[in-house]
Amino acid sequence: MNARDTILRRIRAATADAPPAEAVSRGYRTAGGAVRHEPGEDDLIALFAHRVDDYHASVRRVPAGEAAQAVGAAARERGLTTLAVPPGLPEEWTSGLTAVRLLRDDPPLAPGELDRAGGVITGCAVAIAETGTIVLDAGPGQGRRALTLLPDYHLCVVPADRVVRGVPEAVALLDPRRPQTWISGPSATSDIELDRVEGVHGPRVLDVIILGN
């Protein structure tokens, strides 16, 4: 008997007299269910900003029309000279970057080029307020997975209407067939005496711009 059949046979024998599986009761806060707000945190966007800040990522909130200024300010602050750009990113977001060379990932940049890029700018598919998480799913303006991995700096623009309350809302909106990267703060490790160090292999710095209210 091959391994597959043996394992399946073992499983069937092991569970033969177990009672049938019970229906899963989802008594927790599900997507679309009543939202139980924390006192003082009923503004989802404020909650998201607060939680991102907890990870030592910088957050700024700007009105919808001021993306270009905010991106320009971030680039100046971080002293960027090059920035990788995924296909499908709104042109307007990078329109204020006069002193920065844009590296368009179309055709795809070689890993070495990406590694040398000063940073990368993306949008996102969904953002989760309660956990301060941004999710990229390789959609327009988000790029392939390596794009936000190799450069040492990630600037993520989050349109306010992408922010949802919790994990269930995000899971319901996301398509599992698309590769996803859930990002909560810069890469980090606590492996050495539990001292948190930001930045190991992923970007060491994450800036988030929340666009519109």
Partner 1 sequence: MSGTFLGMPAFPVNAADAVQNSQLRHNLRRATHTIRDKRSRVVAEVPDWAELRSAAKAIKDAALRDLDRHLLRLEETVQAAGGHVHWARDAAEACRIVTDLVRATGETEVVKVKSMATQEIGLNEALADSGIHAYETDLAELIVQLGDDRPSHIVVPAIHRNRAEIREIFLRAMPDASPDLTDDPAALAEAARLHLRQRFLSSKVAISGANFAIAETGTLVVVESEGNGRMCLTLPETLISVVGIEKVLPTWRDLEVFLQLLPRSATGERMNPYTSTWTAATEGQTFHLVLLDNGRTDVLADEVGRQALRCIRCAACLNVCPVYERAGGHAYGSVYPGPIGAILTPQMRGMGTPLDDSLPYASTLCGACYDVCPVAIDIPEVLVHLRDRSSHPRAERAALRAAGWMLARPERLARAQRLAFRLRRLVPRRLPGPLSAWTDTRDLPDIPPESFRDWWKRTEGGTR
Judged by CB under 8 A, the chain residues 127 through 186 that form the site for partner 1 are 128, 130-133, 138, 144-146, 149, 166-168, 170-172, 176-177, 179-186
Identify whether 90 is preceded by a cis peptide bond (ω within 30 of 0): no
Sheet of 82-85, strands arranged across: 58-62, 205-211, 153-159, 120-122, 82-85, 101-104
Which of the stretches 48-56, 71-79, 84-92, 118-126 binds partner 1 when contact is defined by CB under 8 A?
A: 48-56
Which CB sits closer to partner 1, 62 or 147?
147
Among 26, 39, 40, 98, binds partner 1 (CB under 8 A): 26
Strands 126-128 and 188-189: unpaired
Q: How far is the CB of 5 from partner 1 (least distance, A)?
A: 9
* Contacts to partner 1 from residues 66-85, by CB under 8 A: none
Which CB sits closer to partner 1, 189 or 213?
189
- DSSP SS3 for 121: strand
Q: How far is the CB of 121 from partner 1 (least distance, A)?
A: 18
| Residue at 164: amino acid letter | V
35 binds partner 1 (CB under 8 A): no
Are 141 and 94 contacting, i.e. CB atoms less than 8 angstroms apart?
no
Which CB sits closer to partner 1, 32 or 79?
32
Separation between Cα atoms, residue 51 and residue 185, nearest integer Å: 9
